[in-house]
Structure formats: structure tokens, C-alpha cells
């Protein structure tokens, strides 16, 4: 242990002592009774005691020297009992009988042996248990080694120096001379150690004045009190933090300094991290806590206090104090959860209401987990202010229930429209048709016109109801999409519209169409509505022409926003030469009940294109309209291709 | 040939009147009996085997016993299980049509909104009924939507 540490300074101190000082340690982990001891350190007097010369006994087994055997026996005893042993030895040296007092005590991993020559006073005072005279010197030396030992033995990396005060005319300390300094200083400061010794501390490091070091050391010297301080030093532009302990010894000071630069760095990092954490908590409305579950105090981060409307540390951190913030209705719930967590180390996750300092009601969410460390159970966790989330959640719930009501209303409406509205209408139409049949030729021209008006109005109404129904039913389809050949779809529609196409002498030209995934009857309705529109909004004196084109585009390359990237779409274009529409209406025409034309001019319910849009959307596609007044209209449909 | 015996079960008085007038209008040799709901229909049919008609027109939405229940009751009765039943309803809902066919209806007629159409439909059904009786058509070939 002392290897490599027996620097000159230490040697000097112990060599100057009036006692033989010896540190021995077991060489091997042998059986307890036969422990061998190797000399790890011996001062000058110790060498002399055992060898009668100044030859070093360091590193040698103690057994081979005078009195070595008996010391080893007692050293074993000391190690076993952990109690010091004191005994006297008489020796004949140069015809004189000399009495030695030997103290053996456990010291770190080994045994410290102090051997003091007993003086006459002692022999005259045999009754006394207290050693006298030079024993005091021995004790001081022991004190020194005890005092310094901690640092010297423990830390290889300590700077050790010995300073002597320099006094001014008024007998006050103006500086200290560096009488001795070990190599460590040179290593740390990257300088030649030999150059440091001999300088004063102000010569070596002038800032020792302003940083208060000189003052501290002067006080240490004057009062004899030990001093500790930590300062930053800049050596060759490198910042080094030294933590120093100063002890007065004889006519000087012994300084032990440790390089704590790394610790300081970590400390600074920790400080920054703590600040960051604190700010993050602040921003996120989060506080954290740590709770030794065996105790009543909870350690909060600053933001916990702020969450409750307080300044950091403003309220006491007792568990019971926390409970006082709670909304009365949540108190039992929270107590039960915490109890469960404390007893069963259960995970904690609960939302509760609290009243803040200003009596504001806030919702808090606490999440905590338990862990065990050094026999204690702790819970660490966070507290979040979730008031906003809870509030928006409840708004969402209200909206949801409103939506549900709206949906229920819509369903009720559908029922009314499909049955209750249709029934009386059917009766009206039935009676009108009977009236028409029975009174054929008997009605006045005007009455017949009225009857015809009733007929056309009720037809329109039936149409409207049917369209409304199909609009609201687009989403109701439970049928699974399957492969639909659009050529079949087109043929079916053309068959249904055949009569009108013939009447108008219209032409419908189509390229061969692809197969898509979809609901056949909806796609038929889509085609029927689009082609039906083209047959409806025709220009007078122009033969209606309808062209249907088909191609494939990729969502990436298309400029249509509604298309998803990386998906291929079938692009269908329905182009006619009808009355068209103004460009500004190209969005509006898909809105429900939007009619661009007066109902007398063109029949329609204003729902056809809304239904088209709904159908296309439920097929994950898109529909666009393009038109030019009196030139024609073009509807483009995008449907995902088959994979 | 005997008169074709037709039974109409419908709670709507106007519709019964339309039906009777239309049947009269098509000038085929028929005899019509009208009842107001499924319950009175079953009482009539089970009361006397002589009452069994050639063809039943059954409305769906009726009080006391609706058309679906009445149809099931007819099919549960041994001597009525082959009776020709035409559903005569305002509903055009696909699931109603499916359900009645599953329960054993032969024909589904949606109540039309024109008297002329009604006459046309009835004519078609009555004529088919004759074909059914004369040629011993298989029932499953007779599913008809009008």
C-alpha cells in the first residue's frame, strides 16, 4: 500500500520522529494463525531497531529480524481481535539495557508498530499506566500519520506540499515559501516539479491572492485550525480544480490537494442537466418526485410546486400535505392507490383533481413505479397537469354524443323519407292516375293542365325522395367490394338509358374500360348519374356526344391533392358537349342541393353529383369537374387500380 | 273454368280499394276476399279448408300480425305450404325482399304509384298463376319480383 507512496516528504516526517515506525502487512492470504508479515514501510529508526544499521528492511519478512517473532504473534492477535497491544521489550545494546515500549495496532490492511525507547522517568513511575516523556513525541508522530495517512495512503494522486510562512515587517504573513512539493503537482500542471519548489505561492501562482487562498492559509497558520477549500487554477490555459486540505504542522503548513477537475465537470454537467430537466418539466407541465416508501416525505422537483401554484419548496413535502390539495371526491381513491403502491409496490397511474394555491381546480395525472435500492423501496414518478386534455376530451365527448344524436336523427329521417313520406305520396299519385284515367276527356283543358302539374310535381317529389335515400345510403352499404368490370357497368347503364339516348339521337363512345374493386350497383349509379347529366344538360340544336376515356396514373405524379402517393389510379373521363358550367362552380356542383340551373329549364334534384362524389369517396377515389359554359363538361374520376 | 279465388290481406283501406278496382279492371274471372291483418287471415284460412284461395296477396306492414309472421304461419300449416303467396308492399328494401323469399313467398310486388301499373302487375300475376296451376310449374321457378 505504501509502495510508490514513500515520497520524500512522508519519509522526512516519519524519519524525524523519535519513534521507530513500522508498517507491516500479510504477504499472502494464509490461515489466520500462521500469517506472515512483510515490511511495507519502515522509518529510519525502525531499520536501526531491527538491523542495528541503516539498512532498509522494506519488502522483507519481519520474522527474520530481532524480536520479529514475538511481534508477529501479537500482530496476529491484533488482527484477530482488532484491539491494540502494548508491551515492553528489554534489550542489551552496547552493554546498556534499553527498554522499549512497543505498540501494535491495526492500521488499514496491515498493522502499524510503534516502538519507543523508554526513559528513566517511566521506569521510576511503573505504577502509572500512562506512558510519559518521549511517548508524547511518539504520539504526535502517530497523530501525523493518522492525520495524513488517510489521504496519503488512500490517494496516489494527491499533491502534497509543505509551506513555510514569509512574514513582513509587521510580523504578518505576506506569502508562503513552497518548501517541498511532490511530483504530482508537476504532472498536473505539466511543469518541472524542481522549478516549483523554492518559489513562493504568489510567485508561482499570483492569483492565490485574489482567490483567497493566501488568506485561508494565513488563517490556518495563525489559528492552527484545519482548512479546506476548492479553487480553480489555470495552468497553461487548462482549467484544473483542486480541492485542498491545509493542516498546520510545526512551523509550516502541510497541504494535500486533490485534482477534482472531472468531478467539477460532472458537477457542471449535472447542474446543466438539472436546469434542462427543470425547464423541460416547466414547459411540459410535468413535475417529478421520488419517495422513499418507508418515510412520509416525498422529494419533489421544483415544478411540482409550481404545478400546485406554489414557489419551489413553499409547502412541506409530507405525504399528508399532498393529500390536502385533493378534491374531496378523489381523496379516498388517491389514498387507496398510494396505499396499494406502498404495500404491494404496485405501479401507479391515476388521474385526480386538486385545488391549487389559488383554489383553481386542476386535473393531475400521476404515474409512478417502485424500485428497490439498498434495502429501501422507492417510488419515482411524474405528475402532469392534464386539465387541458381532460377538458378537450370532454368537449370531444359532447361532440361525439351530438354526432350520435345527429346520426340517430339522420336514421330517423331516412325512415321517414323511405316509408312515411313515400306512402302518402304514392296515394296522391295513385289517386291522380285514377282521376286521370276515369276523367279522360271529361276535364276542361285548364283542369287537365292542373292535373298534369300535380302529376309532374309528385314525380319530382318521388325523385327527390329516392335520391335523398340513395345519398344517405351510400355509406350504409355492408356489401364487400369485389372485382367489377366497368364495361359491364357501362353496358347496364346504357341499356337503362337507351330510350333517352335514342330520343336525343345522342352518341356515347367509350374506350375499353378496366376492372376495378368496388360495389357494382354503386358504380352503376355513378355512371348513370354522370351520363344522365350529360343527356340532361344538352345544348339546343347540338347533337349530344358523350366520350368516355380511361388511363392509369400514379398518385405521385398527379396534381390531384386527394390522391395518395405511390398508388396507381384508374382515371376515367366523361366528356360531353352540353351546356357546361362556369369554372367557378367546379367545386360547388358537388355540394348537396346545389343547382346551377333553374328547375323549369332542366329537371333535377340537386343531389345527383353529390351522390357521385359520395360513391367515389367511399371507393377511396376522387372526382373532379371541369367545364366551360356552352362548350361542355368533363368529369374525371380516379379509382384505385386493382393491386 | 272456375273463378280464381284471390285473398288480399292489407290494413290500408285505400290500397284495398285500388286493388279491388284494378282487379275488376283487368276483367279476368276472379273472386276477391279482403282481410285487414295476418291474424284475421290465419283465422280465415284455418277456419274452413274451403276457404283456401288460389293466390294470396300479403302486405308486410300490418298491425296485430304482420306479413312476415303471417307468411311463416301459412308455411307452417301443412295444407297451406304450397299456397301461392305474393307479397304486396311499399317496401323496396332488398332485405325485405330477401327475407320474404327465404320465408317462402313466391312473388314480390312493390305497390306501384300508378293505377295503370297496378293493373298491369295484377294481370301478369293472375296469368302466371293460371300457368302455375295448369302446367304444374315448380315453385322455385316462380320467384318473381315486380
pLDDT digits (tens, 9 = 90+) for A543-557: 999 999 999 998 888
Strand pairing report for A632-640 and A568-576? antiparallel
**B12 CA to chain A: closest CA distance, Å?**
11
**Is the per-residue pLDDT at A234 higher than 60?**
yes
Distinct helix (H) and strand (E) counts, chain B: 5, 6
**Is the per-residue pLDDT at A124 higher than 50?**
no
**Is the per-residue pLDDT at A126 higher than 50?**
no
Residues 45-104 of B with CB under 8 A from A: 61, 90-91, 93
Write down the mean pLDDT value for chain A: 81
**For chain A, what percentages of helix, strand and coil (3-state, to nearest 5) are there?**
45, 30, 30
- The arrangement of strands across the sheet holding A252-259 comes to A173-181, A159-167, A252-259, A238-249, A227-235
Check residue A635 and give its pLDDT.
Answer: 94
pLDDT band at A129 (very low <50, low <70, confident <90, very high): very low
Strand partners, B88: B109
Indicate the length of chain B as a whole number: 146
Check residue B137 and give its pLDDT.
Answer: 46
**Is the per-residue pLDDT at A133 higher than 50?**
no
Cβ-defined contact of A433 to B21 (cutoff 8 Å)? no
Scanning every residue of chain A, which has its alpha carbon at the shortest distance from the alpha carbon of B92? A418
Give the residue with greater pLDDT, A193 vs A161: A161
Scanning every residue of chain B, which has its alpha carbon at the shortest distance from the alpha carbon of A436? B115
pLDDT band at A576 (very low <50, low <70, confident <90, very high): very high
pLDDT > 90: what percent of chain A?
17
Give the residue with greater pLDDT, A361 vs A97: A361
Check residue A125 and give its pLDDT.
Answer: 40
Does A520 touch chain B if contact means CB atoms closer than 8 Å?
A: no
| CA pair distance A525, A527, nearest whole angstrom | 6
Residues 13-32 of B with CB under 8 A from A: 14, 18, 21
- State mean pLDDT over A32-45: 74
pLDDT band at A535 (very low <50, low <70, confident <90, very high): very high
| CA pair distance B103, B112, nearest whole angstrom | 23
Does A415 touch chain B if contact means CB atoms closer than 8 Å?
A: no
pLDDT > 70: what percent of chain A?
86
Cβ-defined contact of B113 to A426 (cutoff 8 Å)? yes
Check residue A14 and give its pLDDT.
Answer: 65
Phi/psi at A551 (5° precision): -155, 175
Residue A404 contacts by C-beta under 8 Å, 6 or more apart in sequence?
none
Cβ-defined contact of A426 to B90 (cutoff 8 Å)? yes
pLDDT band at A531 (very low <50, low <70, confident <90, very high): very high
Check residue A639 and give its pLDDT.
Answer: 93
Does B115 touch chain A if contact means CB atoms closer than 8 Å?
A: yes
Per-residue pLDDT of chain B (146 residues; tens, 9 = 90+): 578 889 999 999 999 999 999 988 887 788 899 999 999 999 999 888 888 898 899 999 888 889 999 999 999 988 888 888 889 988 877 778 888 888 888 888 888 888 888 988 888 888 776 656 554 444 444 556 55
| CA pair distance A182, A11, nearest whole angstrom | 12
Check residue A140 and give its pLDDT.
Answer: 43
Scanning every residue of chain A, which has its alpha carbon at the shortest distance from the alpha carbon of B21? A434
Phi/psi at A578 (5° precision): -85, -155
| CA pair distance A574, A595, nearest whole angstrom | 20
Other CB atoms within a 10 A radius of the CB of residue A543 amount to: 11
The one-character DSSP state at A606 is: S
Which of A422, A437, A462 comes nearest B90 by C-beta? A422
Cβ-defined contact of B93 to A430 (cutoff 8 Å)? no
Indicate the length of chain A as a whole number: 643
Q: Please report the domains of chain A, with CATH numbers, ordered by start residue.
A: 8-154 (3.30.450.20), 159-259 (3.30.450.20), 284-385 (3.30.450.20), 391-472 (1.10.287), 477-640 (3.30.565.10)
Label residue A486 exposed, middle or buried (CB < 10 Å: 0-12, 13-18, 19+): buried
Start-end of H helices in A375-444: 387-415, 422-438
Residues of B in contact with A429 (CB under 8 A): 113-114
Check residue B106 and give its pLDDT.
Answer: 86
Does A434 touch chain B if contact means CB atoms closer than 8 Å?
A: yes
Architecture of domain B4-145: 3-Layer(aba) Sandwich (3.40)
Check residue A29 and give its pLDDT.
Answer: 53
CB pairs under 8 A between A and B: 31
pLDDT band at A418 (very low <50, low <70, confident <90, very high): low
| CA pair distance A575, A636, nearest whole angstrom | 9
Check residue A154 and give its pLDDT.
Answer: 37
**For chain B, what percentages of helix, strand and coil (3-state, to nearest 5) are there?**
50, 20, 30
- The per-residue pLDDT for range A378-390, each reduced to its tens digit, is 888 889 888 888 8
Helix (H) or strand (E) holding A147: helix A135-154
Would you say the C-alpha torsion A417, A419, A421, A427 has a positive or negative sign? positive
Scanning every residue of chain B, which has its alpha carbon at the shortest distance from the alpha carbon of A421? B90
Label residue A249 exposed, middle or buried (CB < 10 Å: 0-12, 13-18, 19+): middle
Scanning every residue of chain A, which has its alpha carbon at the shortest distance from the alpha carbon of B14? A427
Cβ-defined contact of B113 to A434 (cutoff 8 Å)? no
| CA pair distance A507, A543, nearest whole angstrom | 8
Contact between residue A126 and residue A148 where contact means Cβ atoms under 8 Å apart: no
Three cell numbers, residue A185: 503537482
Scanning every residue of chain A, which has its alpha carbon at the shortest distance from the alpha carbon of B15? A427
- The per-residue pLDDT for range A167-223, each reduced to its tens digit, is 988 888 999 998 877 777 777 777 777 778 788 999 888 888 888 899 999 999 999
Does A430 touch chain B if contact means CB atoms closer than 8 Å?
A: yes
Check residue A27 and give its pLDDT.
Answer: 65
A224-238, A325-339, A597-611, range with the lowest pLDDT = A597-611
Strand pairing report for A361-373 and A252-259? unpaired
A118-132, A465-479, B40-54, range with the lowest pLDDT = A118-132
> Mind giving me the DSSP string for A313-378?
T-S--BHHHHHTTB-HHHHHHHHHHHHHHHHH---EEEEEEEE-TT--EEEEEEEEEEEEETTEEE
pLDDT band at A527 (very low <50, low <70, confident <90, very high): very high
Amino acid at each position: 500500500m505504501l509502495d510508490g507512496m514513500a515520497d520524500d516528504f512522508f519519509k522526512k516526517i516519519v524519519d524525524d520522529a523519535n519513534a521507530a515506525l513500522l508498517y507491516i502487512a500479510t504477504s499472502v492470504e494464509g490461515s489466520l494463525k500462521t500469517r506472515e508479515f512483510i515490511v511495507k514501510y519502515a522509518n529510519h529508526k525502525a531499520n536501526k531497531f531491527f538491523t542495528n544499521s541503516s539498512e532498509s528492511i522494506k519488502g522483507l519478512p519481519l520474522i527474520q529480524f530481532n524480536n520479529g517473532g514475538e511481534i508477529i504473534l501479537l500482530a496476529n492477535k491484533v488482527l484477530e481481535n482488532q484491539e491494540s497491544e502494548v508491551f515492553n521489550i528489554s534489550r542489551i545494546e552496547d552493554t546498556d539495557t534499553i527498554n522499549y515500549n512497543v505498540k501494535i495496532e491495526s492500521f488499514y490492511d496491515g498493522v502499524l508498530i510503534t516502538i519507543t525507547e523508554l526513559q528513566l522517568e517511566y521506569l521510576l513511575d511503573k505504577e502509572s499506566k500512562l506512558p510519559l516523556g518521549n511517548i508524547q513525541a511518539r504520539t504526535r508522530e502517530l497523530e501525523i500519520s493518522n492525520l495524513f495517512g488517510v489521504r496519503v495512503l488512500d490517494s496516489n494522486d494527491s499533491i502534497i506540499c509543505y509551506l513555510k510562512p514569509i512574514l513582513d515587517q509587521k510580523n504578518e504573513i505576506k506569502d508562503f515559501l513552497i518548501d517541498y512539493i511532490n511530483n504530482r503537482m508537476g504532472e498536473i500542471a505539466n511543469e518541472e516539479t524542481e522549478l516549483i519548489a523554492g518559489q513562493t505561492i504568489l510567485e508561482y501562482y499570483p492569483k492565490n491572492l485574489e482567490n483567497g487562498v493566501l488568506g485561508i492559509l494565513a488563517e490556518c497558520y495563525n489559528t492552527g485550525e484545519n482548512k479546506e477549500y476548492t479553487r480553480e487554477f489555470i495552468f497553461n490555459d487548462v482549467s484544473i480544480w483542486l480541492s485542498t486540505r491545509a493542516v498546520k504542522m510545526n512551523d509550516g503548513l502541510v497541504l494535500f490537494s486533490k485534482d477534482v477537475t472531472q468531478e467539477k465537470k460532472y458537477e457542471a454537467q449535472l447542474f446543466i442537466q438539472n436546469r434542462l430537466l427543470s425547464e423541460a418539466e416547466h414547459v411540459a407541465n410535468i413535475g417529478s418526485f421520488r419517495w422513499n416508501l418507508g418515510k412520509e416525505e416525498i422529494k419533489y422537483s421544483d415544478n411540482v410546486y409550481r404545478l400546485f401554484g406554489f414557489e419551489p419548496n413553499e409547502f412541506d413535502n409530507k405525504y399528508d400535505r399532498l393529500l390536502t390539495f385533493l378534491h374531496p371526491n378523489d381523496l379516498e381513491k388517491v389514498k387507496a392507490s398510494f396505499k396499494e403502491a406502498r404495500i404491494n409496490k404496485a405501479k401507479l397511474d391515476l388521474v385526480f383533481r386538486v385545488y391549487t394555491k389559488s383554489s383553481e381546480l386542476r386535473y393531475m395525472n400521476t404515474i409512478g413505479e417502485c424500485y428497490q435500492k439498498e434495502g429501501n423501496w422507492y417510488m419515482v414518478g411524474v405528475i402532469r397537469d392534464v386539465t387541458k386534455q381532460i377538458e378537450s376530451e370532454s368537449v370531444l365527448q359532447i361532440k361525439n354524443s351530438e354526432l350520435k344524436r345527429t346520426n340517430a336523427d339522420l336514421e330517423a329521417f331516412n325512415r321517414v323519407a323511405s316509408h312515411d313520406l313515400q306512402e302518402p305520396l304514392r296515394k296522391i299519385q295513385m289517386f291522380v292516375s285514377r282521376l286521370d284515367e276515369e276523367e279522360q276527356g271529361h276535364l276542361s283543358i285548364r283542369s287537365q293542365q292542373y292535373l298534369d302539374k300535380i302529376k309532374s310535381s309528385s314525380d319530382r317529389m318521388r325523385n327527390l325522395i329516392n335520391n335523398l335515400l340513395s345519398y344517405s345510403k351510400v355509406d350504409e352499404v355492408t356489401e364487400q367490394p369485389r372485382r367489377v368490370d366497368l364495361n359491364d357497368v357501362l353496358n347496364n347503364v346504357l341499356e337503362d338509358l337507351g330510350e333517352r339516348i335514342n330520343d336525343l339521337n345522342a352518341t356515347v363512345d367509350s374506350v375499353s374500360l378496366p376492372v376495378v374493386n368496388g360495389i357494382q350497383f354503386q358504380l352503376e349509379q355513378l355512371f348513370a348519374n354522370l351520363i344522365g347529366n350529360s343527356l340532361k344538360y344538352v345544348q339546343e340544336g347540338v347533337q349530344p356526344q358523350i366520350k368516355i376515356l380511361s388511363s392509369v396514373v400514379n398518385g405521385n405524379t398527379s396534381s390531384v391533392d386527394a390522391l395518395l402517393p405511390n398508388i396507381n389510379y384508374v382515371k376515367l373521363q366523361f366528356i360531353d358537349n352540353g351546356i357546361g358550367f362556369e369554372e367557378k362552380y367546379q367545386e360547388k356542383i358537388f355540394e348537396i342541393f346545389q343547382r346551377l340551373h333553374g328547375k323549369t329549364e332542366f329537371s333535377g334534384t340537386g343531389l345527383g353529383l353529390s351522390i357521385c362524389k359520395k360513391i367515389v369517396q367511399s371507393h377511396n377515389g376522387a372526382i373532379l369537374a371541369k367545364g366551360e359554359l356552352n362548350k361542355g363538361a368533363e368529369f374525371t374520376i380516379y379509382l384505385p387500380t386493382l393491386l | 273454368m272456375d273463378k280464381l279465388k284471390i285473398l288480399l290481406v292489407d290494413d290500408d283501406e285505400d290500397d284495398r280499394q285500388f286493388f279491388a278496382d284494378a282487379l275488376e279492371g283487368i276483367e279476368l274471372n276472379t273472386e276477391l276476399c279482403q282481410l285487414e291483418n295476418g291474424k284475421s287471415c290465419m283465422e280465415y284460412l284455418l277456419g274452413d279448408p274451403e276457404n283456401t284461395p288460389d293466390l294470396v296477396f300479403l302486405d308486410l306492414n300490418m298491425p296485430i300480425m304482420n306479413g312476415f309472421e303471417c307468411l311463416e304461419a301459412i308455411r307452417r300449416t301443412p295444407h297451406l305450404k304450397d299456397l301461392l303467396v305474393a307479397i304486396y308492399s311499399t317496401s323496396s328494401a332488398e332485405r325485405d325482399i330477401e327475407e320474404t323469399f327465404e320465408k317462402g313467398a313466391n312473388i314480390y310486388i312493390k305497390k306501384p304509384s300508378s293505377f295503370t301499373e297496378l293493373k298491369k302487375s295484377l294481370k301478369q300475376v293472375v296469368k302466371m298463376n293460371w300457368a302455375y296451376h295448369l302446367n304444374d310449374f315448380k315453385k322455385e321457378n316462380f320467384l318473381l319480383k315486380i
